């Protein structure tokens, strides 16, 4: 019987067939070693007897790579992609860690995932005279099993990451004919061999294109976000808000959304929606928006229109979803029907509208303004809770906000 590609080894009564990896799953007396952090236990249950009789045939690491590459070739965020790449290559080569560096001008830079050494190593430029630089310039997969005597080993990174690199196998990463980075796999117990180098080289070839397009995509998204924030900060400033209002509302909304269990895609959309929530103020004349005294009913109606203007502006953009538009349109709606522009109630108000409403009020009241001092978080939470009890805000969302303040995240 053939084992699925993600099983690299198994152990029956202490006898190992294939190889051990970091991810072990036990089904009665059989332990399976896999390249994924989660395993399909039903499948393992079915393979158990074949494993007991040692009739389970495994693939060689090099044969497994195309399957992994195919699985990585779906739509993933850069962070998830990097994590999966690192995890699978470490399992395949039985190594401790893996890092990916990209070429930038005259040096290499780390691409890092969250956690681990993130925040400590990505700002360190890795010189071209280093091991990674040598691999990149020579365009070859190379093994370095004795780093103690190798002057090319760049110790700056180990120090910052609080990590001791003992040995390395590394390979350039290509997109078509252009090399753009290096993948390094670190620390194998008895050092890396020729087979490891071949496996890594094949792996690097197969993930290159996907990695490159994901990096480019992420950079473009970051750039777009910066442009949008620059535009909204001008609107915030005009409205006597702090310059950071839209950015803050976006940050708080995403934290609330995460607590509510929204998917990565929804969180991305929620962030865009929150950044843009007041974009419609662009259509309100200064004489009304900045009027110091009381507004006439007509003027107030005009202000209310910023929600509708915002939704109109956003609906003209190609990749903007209904969810994103709903946040701009409905962030002043209240659950009891007392809000605007449509006096919608309860479940008729979108989740994005309900989340941004809470984040908007929280930031507006805790911020210092020209006309008022900042209010304490406790006081603002009290007001929000009171309003939620009166049926204006979604209590579940206000509770999540309270949790965030309690945890010190806000």
Site of interaction with Fe ion (CB under 5 A): 278
Which residue's CB is nearer to Fe ion, number 254 or number 284?
Answer: 284
Q: How far is the CB of 303 from Fe ion (least distance, A)?
A: 9
- Residue facing Fe ion at closest CB distance: 278
Which residue's CB is nearer to Fe ion, number 94 or number 246?
Answer: 246
Peptide bond into 341 cis (omega under 30): yes
Tell me phi and psi for residue 279, to 5 degrees: -55, -30
Q: How far is the CB of 330 from Fe ion (least distance, A)?
A: 10
**DSSP alpha helices (H): ranges in 239-350?**
245-259, 264-275, 286-289, 297-304, 306-315, 322-330
Q: How far is the CB of 117 from Fe ion (least distance, A)?
A: 40
Which pair of tokens denotes residue 287?
A: 């004489």
By C-alpha distance, which of 133, 136, 121 is closest to 112?
Answer: 121
Burial 136-152 (b: 16+ CB within 10 A, else e): beeeebbbbeebeeeee
Integer distance in angstroms from the first to the last C-alpha of the chain? 55
Helices 377-389 and 395-406 cross at an angle (nearest 10°) of 160
Q: How far is it, in rounded angstroms, from Cα 162 to Cα 164?
A: 7
Q: How far is the CB of 78 from Fe ion (least distance, A)?
A: 32
Q: How far is the CB of 307 from Fe ion (least distance, A)?
A: 6
Which residue's CB is nearer to Fe ion, number 46 or number 240?
Answer: 240
Which residue's CB is nearer to Fe ion, number 236 or number 278?
Answer: 278
Q: How far is it, in rounded angstroms, from Cα 221 to Cα 318?
A: 15
Q: How far is the CB of 75 from Fe ion (least distance, A)?
A: 32
3-state SS assignment for residue 21: coil
Residue 328 near residue 277 (C-beta atoms within 8 A)? yes
Which residue's CB is nearer to Fe ion, number 217 or number 301?
Answer: 301
Which residue's CB is nearer to Fe ion, number 331 or number 400?
Answer: 331
Q: How far is the CB of 362 from Fe ion (least distance, A)?
A: 13
CB atoms near residue 125 (< 10 Å) = 15
Which residue's CB is nearer to Fe ion, number 184 or number 360?
Answer: 360
């Amino acid at each position: 019987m053939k084992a699925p590609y993600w099983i690299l080894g198994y152990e029956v009564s202490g006898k190992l067939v294939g190889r051990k990896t970091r991810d072990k799953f036990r089904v009665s007396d059989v332990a399976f070693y896999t390249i994924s952090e989660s395993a399909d236990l039903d499948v393992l249950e079915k393979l158990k007897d074949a494993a007991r009789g040692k009739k389970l045939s495994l693939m060689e690491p090099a044969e497994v790579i195309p399957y992994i590459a195919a699985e990585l070739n779906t739509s993933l965020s850069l962070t998830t992609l990097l994590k999966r790449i690192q995890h699978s290559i470490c399992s395949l080569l039985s190594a401790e860690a893996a890092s990916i560096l990209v070429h930038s001008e005259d040096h290499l830079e780390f691409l890092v995932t969250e956690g681990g050494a993130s925040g400590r190593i990505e700002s360190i430029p890795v010189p071209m005279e280093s091991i990674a630089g040598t691999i990149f310039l020579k365009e070859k997969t190379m093994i370095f099993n004795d780093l103690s005597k190798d002057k090319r080993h760049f110790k700056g990174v180990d120090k910052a990451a609080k990590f001791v690199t003992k040995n390395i196998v590394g390979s350039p990463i290509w997109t078509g004919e252009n090399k753009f980075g290096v993948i390094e796999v670190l620390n194998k117990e008895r050092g890396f061999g020729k087979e490891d180098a071949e496996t890594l080289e094949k792996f690097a070839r197969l993930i290159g294109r996907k990695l490159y397009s994901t990096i480019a995509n992420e950079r473009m998204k970051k750039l777009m976000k910066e442009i949008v924030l620059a535009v909204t900060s001008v609107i915030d400033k005009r409205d006597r808000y702090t310059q950071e209002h839209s950015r803050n509302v976006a940050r708080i909304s995403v934290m609330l959304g995460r607590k509510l269990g929204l998917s990565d895609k929804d969180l991305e959309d929620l962030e865009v929606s929150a950044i843009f929530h007041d974009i419609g103020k662009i259509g309100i004349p200064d004489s009304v928006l900045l009027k110091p005294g009381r507004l006439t009913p007509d003027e107030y109606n005009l202000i209310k229109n910023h929600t509708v203007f915002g939704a109109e502006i956003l609906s003209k953009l190609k990749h903007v979803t209904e969810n994103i538009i709903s946040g701009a349109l409905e962030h002043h709606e209240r659950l009891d029907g007392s809000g605007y522009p449509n006096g919608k109630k309860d479940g008729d108000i979108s989740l994005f509208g309900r989340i941004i409403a809470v984040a908007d009020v929280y930031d507006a009241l805790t911020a210092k303004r020209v006309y008022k001092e900042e209010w304490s978080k406790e006081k603002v939470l009290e007001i929000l809770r009171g309003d939620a009890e009166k049926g204006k805000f979604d209590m579940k969302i206000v509770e999540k906000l309270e949790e965030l303040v309690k945890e010190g995240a806000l």
